[in-house]
Amino acid sequence: MDTLSPTAILAGLPTTSLPRHIQCYAEVGSTMDVARAWVAEATNEQLPALILAESQTAGRGRMRRAWVAPPSTALLFSLVLRPHWLPIAAAPALIWMAAVAVCEGIAAETGLHPRLKWPNDVLLPVVSPVPAAVPVQTQPQTPASLSDWRKIAGILLEMSGTEHMIDWAIIGCGLNVSANPPADISLRYATTNLSAALGQPVARLAILRSLLQRLDYWHLQLQHGAIDHLFTTWRGLLMTLGHKVQIETASGILTGYAEDVERSGALRIRDATDVVHIVSSGDVHL
């Protein structure tokens, strides 16, 4: 089993903007809770900071739904930022940054081609994966049916601020590396893990370091105002687009064709009566 320690994570890591501080835990309730409790006392020099755990007893996703992974089989972390430089209206870019970085980090290390279910669920196709050792010559295989995708990682952003400024933002990520969630956990979607998808063991440390490099890249891009570049990349990874989907929103269930995303990141759905709905939050069902 590979060990996740600050020393191992940082050894020769060619990043410039993050992480500036790392905390590794054997077991916590949730790295999000640890991060939230710590962010008030974090100095600016420590941020962005990475908080990791081998195991969580109360891992959570959107709306505090449970996120469960067997100990030391997943990457469970929170990235803590205080992005005062980012206008609060541009906060969705932090979600895009994390989602794109996870996809690209996995791709760079394994040759797999994760895609995103709007807005930020990371999925892998069930079709036979491209082995990491073989240079990718062709386009990745894409399943015809959306039901042929399985979730490999989830991303969550919790932030706090006034109506004018972001105070802090914490990006949470759970990535299945060598095991799926326990079978007795009732899930709303099909899952897989990196080792299973690749057909060989994958080291968590290598994936994490790859992912941090992509996070660093996009964090710097964002700081330099390249939000359009990030948006375009995120949009290009959305496998939801071009498919008929069902989306569960606070206002009810909507069925239609996922046409595109708005510049805000909201999903544009055209229903059977040709009415276009702009959806900013909800669960997409494939």
Partner 1 sequence: MPETLDGRTDEFGIEAVRELLELIEQTDITELLIERGSSKLHVKRGNAAPPPQPPPALSTVPLALSVPPMSGMAMPQAAHAPVGYAPPPVVSAPPYAASHSETAPAESDLPDGHVITSPMVGTYYTAPSPKDPPFVHEGDEVHAGDTVGIVEAMKMMNEIETEVSGRVVRLLVKNEQPVEYGQPLMVIAPL
Task: State the Cα–Cα distance between residues 266 and 150, nearest whole angstrom.
Answer: 23
Enumerate binding residues for partner 1 (CB under 8 A): 62-64, 87-92, 94-95, 119-120, 155-164, 167, 225, 227-228, 231-232, 235, 249-251, 254, 260, 262-266, 270, 274-281
Least distance (Å) from partner 1 to the CB of residue 232?
A: 4
Distances (CA, A) of 271 to 90, 145, 240, 262, 263: 28, 19, 15, 16, 20
Distances (CA, A) of 78 to 115, 141, 158, 273: 21, 31, 10, 42
Provide DSSP, 95-125: HHHHHHHHHHHHHHHH----EEETTTEEEEE
Task: State the Cα–Cα distance between residues 17 and 256, nearest whole angstrom.
Answer: 41
Instruction: Retrieve residue 175's tokens.
Output: 């990535």
47, 37, 50: which is closest to 78 by C-alpha? 50
Least distance (Å) from partner 1 to the CB of residue 280?
A: 4
Least distance (Å) from partner 1 to the CB of residue 171?
A: 10
Least distance (Å) from partner 1 to the CB of residue 45?
A: 23
CB 200 within 8 A of CB 66: no
Please identify, using beta-carbon distances, which residue of 54 and 218 lies nearer to partner 1: 218
Least distance (Å) from partner 1 to the CB of residue 9?
A: 25
Please identify, using beta-carbon distances, which residue of 124 and 156 lies nearer to partner 1: 156
Please identify, using beta-carbon distances, which residue of 64 and 244 lies nearer to partner 1: 64
Please identify, using beta-carbon distances, which residue of 201 and 236 lies nearer to partner 1: 236
Please identify, using beta-carbon distances, which residue of 1 and 253 lies nearer to partner 1: 253
